[in-house]
A = this chain, B = another copy of it.
């Protein structure tokens, strides 16, 4: 089992593909078969596996979230950290803080159309910390 930290700087709300960063860590580990666990240490950003072919999928996901958890909803009691903070917590709860993906033949065994994305839910840029744990078969 190998544990490492990946620091990711985001430029504000949006999705950031990290598939290549994860594959690169698997390459360096020389693990051929096992499991790759990703853990994001935050409550206003999350991890998703999403279609990596057409970027409008991610635009539509943003619009979906904006519709069900709008910024600045007057119903929110938690509003001291800005109109985008409580929606960021909701979006995180509805998606994932961690992902576990098989490693098969030295590859992160994603499906043809799957990409790993960090989804920043705050409008301002942030520094995010991801812990990667690799387990060998």
> Which chain A residues have a beta carbon within 8 Å of chain B's beta carbons?
1, 3, 33-35, 37, 39-44, 48-51, 54, 56-57, 59-61, 63-64, 67-69, 75-78, 80, 86, 89-90, 92-102, 104, 109-114, 129, 131, 133, 135-137
Contact = CB atoms under 8 A, between A and B. Distances in A.
A125 B59 CA distance: 27
A114 B63 contact: no
B101 A86 contact: no
9 contacts: A41-B114, A43-B111, A48-B93, A50-B89, A54-B80, A57-B89, A59-B77, A67-B75, A93-B95
A65 to B, nearest CB: 9
A98 B99 contact: yes
Which 8 pairs of residues, A with B, have the shortest CB-CB distance?
A41-B111, A56-B77, A1-B137, A56-B78, A43-B51, A102-B131, A57-B78, A49-B97
